[in-house]
Amino acid sequence: MPGKHVLGYQLGLAAFLLALWEAGARATWIDPFFFSRPSLIGARLAEWFSTSLIWGHLGATLLEALLAFVLGSAAGIVTGFWLGRWPLGAAVAEPFLQTANALPRVVLAPLFIFWFGLGIASKVAFGMTLVFFLVFFNTYRGVRSVERALIDNARLLGANERQLLRHVLLPSALGWIFSSLEASIGLAMVGAVVGEYLGATGGLGYLIAQAEGLLDTTGMLAGMALLAVVVLLIAALVRRAERRLLRWQQPR
């Protein structure tokens, strides 16, 4: 099905659900105190942008998420390639990585705030823990999934480890890496917002926490809606970059 038709259906479904929500709240089928209304949420977002209140908070969250995404992804890719090419190291590190990955991330957030304070460092560190493991495991599997025959043939042609990485391993693992990067964007934003929610002086998570303290459902949902839109826009950019870089893999 053509992409433009899918987008049309998606927008139509979103408009239908918002209209149903609005009608249900106005008719008090659902309690507007607890669920607010799309029109009120839109008005709150318009107010935030018109008064420039949101820009500083949005900028803080985006910076934290960007740093967490870049640093966590870089660490995951490098570690994934390294252990993917070093079976002994992977065997030794596997139980430690599995244990660290099994730890509930939310319980780590207060520790990061305790260690690094209320500033940007605690939010970035927390976001990195969310991004790193997803990117690492996908990169590791991508490297390990490369057919042994391709590696052996490259070796026979005289390729060294650097050339093997550039011309065989990296192109083969790109699909795995990009599939993790798209999901990592949302995780980086979650890390930043959760860290701000638990303790911060600014950011979308801070706004949501402030609205919760005032029992302001509209403010909470407005912050969540803005977060969702930002994540969708960034994910669309990553998908576009993926299509460009992996064009050679697509059937003609």
Give residue 151's pLDDT. 65
Tokens representing residue 231 in the block = 């994540």
Is the pLDDT higher at 43 or at 109?
Answer: 43
Q: Quote the CA–CA distance of 30 and 27 in Å, as a whole number.
A: 8
Q: Is residue 109 part of a domain?
A: yes
**CB-based contacts of 29: which residues, under 8 Å, 6+ apart?**
23
Q: Is residue 7 part of a domain?
A: no
In this prediction, residue 71 has a pLDDT band, given cuts at 50, 70 and 90, of very high
Q: Is residue 39 part of a domain?
A: no
Q: Is residue 129 part of a domain?
A: yes
Tokens representing residue 12 in the block = 């139509």
Give residue 161's pLDDT. 67
Q: Which of 73, 92, 90, 72 lies closest to 82 in space, CA to CA?
A: 90
Give residue 251's pLDDT. 47
CB 211 within 8 Å of CB 226: no
pTM for this one?
0.78
Q: Is residue 197 part of a domain?
A: yes
Tokens 């570690």 -> residue:
79
Q: How does DSSP classify residue 215?
A: T
Domain count, the chain: 1
Sequential DSSP letters for 30-51: S-HHHH--HHHHHHHHHHHHHT
Domain span including residue 189: 54-249
Q: Is residue 26 part of a domain?
A: no
Give residue 70's pLDDT. 92
Q: What is the CATH number of the domain that holds 242?
A: 1.10.3720.10
Q: Is residue 9 part of a domain?
A: no
- 234-247 pLDDT per residue, tens: 878 877 776 776 66
Q: Distance from first CA to last CA of the chain, Å, rounded?
A: 17
Instruction: Please check the confidence at residue 102 and state whether its pLDDT lies above 60.
Output: yes
CB 177 within 8 Å of CB 139: yes
- Range of 113-117, 162-166, 172-176 with top mean pLDDT: 113-117
Give residue 67's pLDDT. 92
- 7-33 pLDDT per residue, tens: 788 788 888 888 888 888 888 888 888
- 150-172 pLDDT per residue, tens: 666 666 666 666 767 666 777 77
Q: Is residue 20 part of a domain?
A: no
**CB-based contacts of 73: which residues, under 8 Å, 6+ apart?**
131, 132, 135, 181, 184
CB 177 within 8 Å of CB 120: no
